[in-house]
Amino acid sequence: MLNTFKKALKIPELRKKLVFTFLMLIVFRIGSSIPVPGIDVAVVKEAINQHGGAFALYDVISGSALSNFTLFALSVTPYITSSIIIQLLAVAIPSMEEMQKSGEQGRKKLASWTRYLTIMLALIQATALSIGMFRSALMSDSIMSTVAVVLTLTAGTAFLMWLGEMITEKGVGNGMSMIIFFGIVSRFPNDVKQTIALAKAGQINYIQIALFLLISILIVVGVIMILQGVRKIPVQYAKRTVGRSTYGGKQSHMPLKVNQAGVIPVIFASSLLAFPQVLQLFIKNPTYAQFVAKWFNGTQAPGIYVFSLLQFVLVIGFSYFYISITFNPVEVADNLKNANGFIPGIRPGKPTSDFITKSLNRLTFVGAVFLAIIASVPTMLYQATNVPFQFGGTSLLIVVGVAIETAKQLESQTVMRNYQGFLK
């Protein structure tokens, strides 16, 4: 990865893209440091500390912008949510599915709908934060003050969405992914500082730190192996003769990723588990508050064990659900048949789709269990070692996944530029 980065810096065009990406990410960090006017940040931090399980993931993704209640407090979560909604609707609604397959114009229209839905969701979330969850943090109860906070948060999300699209268009990597990646990584220096301070104070020992680092390295290695893991189903294309020319007869493969669902099931599970704690902010009932604090607390026993078990089960369930609506084995088998391709030993048509379904279910089980373990282990690791690196499974998957994809993109562009130079 470092060699790829060094080679990219030697190519003027890629160097410009890297500099542009870096400058845009600096703009993101500057915006993440500008507080929203009319908000008492101390009250927000206290509320997040009390209900950490509900806001921990969003605070990590935003690079602590939520706990500091800055311009980018909502981060790109409205955009992620709207993208998932549009993707699911494209599967459920035939007209949207045709639009998705119709080419560049159809995809541009869906992208436009995603932007509009992002603004709507940002407006709803900003309103919920301002007059619901953090109402006590408002310095003034006037309507104008509340509207100003809501519009500021919505505008921050809109600007961040534009920033991500500019990085995708003129920079390196996927803009939204790079923003999330940079937000997560930006917390590491502070975590290192806290760890050193706790070690000097004698609250944690160096054996705990060493154990934490060892397990963290093993987790990252496991994440890389699963993210890169692919089952290659062999595919043979039949020969056909047109005039004096013979076409086909080639051997290829159909790649099925072990982690076909990506990080989406973990996001779904985390959002569902956060719902009881979010509901607690609206239901002022001491009995309900004690129940949530005991059984849905992701940082203390016994809630941490119940939370982790529920998360494990939900991640597996959502993995199967998401893959079932985004991957159609029947369609894949039909496309293979239309291209005169077949899997050796498997008849075209229904037997092929059944074989792909069976293979996919096995891979999904492995990938789902992996996701569930990765989602639960970091929380348990933090509980066991007390090292204040409060990263979750979702953030770990995002960081490693974005790093791998960005390195691949840089490598492919470097190879392409080298070939162009050779041809010249």
The predicted structure's pLDDT at residue 266: 78
- Domain membership of residue 415 (yes or no) is no
- Domain membership of residue 304 (yes or no) is yes
Predicted confidence (pLDDT) at residue 162 exceeds the cutoff of 90: yes
Question: Are 92 and 42 in the same domain?
Answer: yes
Domain final residue pick, 187, 216, 249: 187
Q: State the pTM of this model.
A: 0.78
Number of domains, the chain: 2
Better-scored residue on pLDDT, 277 or 79: 79
Query: Using CA atoms, how far apart are residues 291 and 306, in angstroms rounded to an integer?
Result: 12
Better-scored residue on pLDDT, 295 or 234: 234
Query: Using CA atoms, how far apart are residues 289 and 205, in angstroms rounded to an integer?
Result: 35
Supply the range of the domain harboring residue 242.
201-390
Domain final residue pick, 161, 187, 213: 187
Q: What integer is the mean pLDDT of 30-45?
A: 86
Question: Are 148 and 177 in the same domain?
Answer: yes
Query: Using CA atoms, how far apart are residues 69 and 174, in angstroms rounded to an integer?
Result: 25
- Domain membership of residue 410 (yes or no) is no
The predicted structure's pLDDT at residue 423: 39
Among 14-18, 118-122, 280-284, the range with the most confident prediction by mean pLDDT is: 118-122
Predicted confidence (pLDDT) at residue 44 exceeds the cutoff of 60: yes
Phi, psi at residue 418, to the nearest 5°?
Answer: -65, -40
Better-scored residue on pLDDT, 73 or 188: 73
The predicted structure's pLDDT at residue 116: 93
Question: Are 284 and 145 in the same domain?
Answer: no
Residue % of the chain over a pLDDT of 90:
8
The predicted structure's pLDDT at residue 424: 42
Among 2-11, 73-82, 286-295, 305-314, the range with the most confident prediction by mean pLDDT is: 73-82
Which residues are 256's β-sheet partners?
Answer: 231
Lowest model confidence (mean pLDDT) among 58-72, 144-158, 404-418: 404-418
Q: What is the dihedral of CA 111, 112, 118, 119, to 10 degrees?
A: 160
Q: Whose structure tokens read 């985004």?
A: 326
Q: What integer is the mean pLDDT of 375-399?
A: 65
Question: Are 157 and 245 in the same domain?
Answer: no
Question: Are 354 and 207 in the same domain?
Answer: yes
| Contacts of residue 148, Cβ cutoff 8 Å, sequence gap at least 6 | 37, 38
Better-scored residue on pLDDT, 357 or 272: 357
Which residues are 247's β-sheet partners?
Answer: 240
Question: Are 223 and 362 in the same domain?
Answer: yes
Question: Are 162 and 21 in the same domain?
Answer: yes
Average pLDDT, the chain: 80
Query: Using CA atoms, how far apart are residues 162 and 150, in angstroms rounded to an integer?
Result: 19
- Domain membership of residue 194 (yes or no) is no
* Residue 20 belongs to domain with CATH number: 1.10.3370.10
Q: Whose structure tokens read 């602590």?
A: 64
Among 104-113, 116-125, 329-338, 370-379, the range with the most confident prediction by mean pLDDT is: 116-125
Residue % of the chain over a pLDDT of 70:
85
Better-scored residue on pLDDT, 342 or 293: 342
Q: What integer is the mean pLDDT of 348-366?
A: 89
